[in-house]
Each structure stands twice: as C-alpha cells, then as structure tokens.
Structure 1
C-alpha cells in the first residue's frame, strides 16, 4: 500500500502551520504542485470530508482523505508538523503527523481497506515515535515500509495448512 502511492517527494518534514485549515491548505498546495491535480479540487475534497467529522484518529495522528472524480490513481502525502495543532480528534490530542490520501472515485472498492490498513499501522506507538524522530523524508519512508511489512507478515504464518490446523480440518486433510 505504501510504496505505490507514497515516495520521498510526497513527505514533508516540520511544516509550519497555524491550525487545521492552514495545514490542509499547505498539504493541498504541495499535492497540486507534485501531481498537477487542481489545488481547489484537493482542498474542497479534504474540507468536505472534514465537515462530516474530524479525520483525526488519535495519538497525534490525522488521516484526511477524499474520493475525487478527477484522478485515476491514488495519491498520498505524509506531513510531520513543526508544532502539533488541534485537529478536533477523538482524544483531544494535538496532531503532528498527517497522512493524506486521495482516491479515485471511479475505483472506490479498495479505498476503505487501504484506509483501514493505514489506521492500524499508525496505532503503533513505535511507528509514531520513529516518524517523529526521523531526520529525512527517505528515513520516514523506510520506517513506514518496514513497519507496514511487519504489521502484515504475521498473517502469513497463521495461514499455513498442516495436519493439525483449522484449515486442514475444513478441507478434509486431517
């Protein structure tokens, strides 16, 4: 999920901002410059979603997101703020890590699973702390890559079929 839509160029470190609107505006400008997507379309999509409820997920993290009809591939951005801001999240913690996701409205089915994966990934206190301590965008990207692989590797070990597993009993191999 991370590699295909996030590169070093999509990561901002120590962005100075005055609040939630300012942060989303600066992120929209950066995404627009990087991708050619109209800045107002990005901003409108993010603000429309925020009006439904804060995308702050707690523990200093927000994952603003939007479905856009003007894009055909997912776009992501990771921003670490210079100072935490109020994002109206569930735990009233101020936010300093913002992972922004824009998804094509034409292909919405993978969107919720991808968003869910990111929420699970950012629950890890070790990941959050490492991102806060990272000194460069390539270091932040490497941290995300390693953590995302570790998050989902355990599932491979539980899916084996052997003589004494639930799967083997279901398929008549026991």
Structure 2
C-alpha cells in the first residue's frame, strides 16, 4: 500500500511540474484555450496509464511532450474543421512585446497547417533541434526542415514587411 501511495505522489508531482509548460505548448499549436486544456488532460491521462514507460524514458519531459504533440495531431486528423479562433491569446510572460506584432503573429500561425504549427512551436518556441522535433512528431528530419522552411516563408509572407520578427531564422 505504501508503494502505491508513493507512486501516486510521484506521478502527481511530475504532472504538476509539466502541466504549465504542456499547456503553453498546446495553446500555441492549437490556438484554442479550451482545446489546449483538453489536450493537456488527455496527455496527462496517457502519462498516468503509461507511467512506467514515462519514468524509464531518457527524458520524461520530452516523452510527455511527444505524447502531447501526437495527441494534437491525432485530434486534428479526427476533427478536421477549418475554424479560425477569434479570441486573443492570454499574455504568457511578464515581458511585454508589441501587441500588434503578437496579434499579427498569432493570426499568421493560425493560417499554418496543424503539422507546420507543431513544427514551428517545437523548433522555435520550445527550441528543439531538427532531430528532436522529427522524433517527437514521428516524421523524418528532412520533412521537419522542409516544413520549417515553408512555414517560416508563409509566416514572413503573412506578416509582410511591417514586422521583421523572423529575420535571421
């Protein structure tokens, strides 16, 4: 019985530690607060069920992030809707950036395909390497590079010359 309580406490502590970062990543890829919450809940449910594998993983945080991204891509495949979120994303940090740039970037991200958004978020928000992104999304490194290039080109086109945020990427 003590082992079960210890296991539960360990799982709970891990979930509390990863939840905020998972939520931010989910919100960035899907653009919908409620869907992001659902994705995190589903991911944490999968973590609970496969806790032994998560715990034995070389990087449990990366393992859980992979579960989140695959859960998101699976959701998109199952629920192909072409809605565009109209609400504003909440502020994520204390440092305040140009609101016009934030809005333009959010709208430009929403125009990308689900897989392209996942690649951009992992590569440039989560600062993952091409190999890590490929592994987490279950695609080849070449596909990640191509999707990154196309997504950044699309973002530059959508943002136009008024926001030079993607220079050097």
Relative to the length of structure 2, the TM-score reads 0.28
Max Rg structure: 1
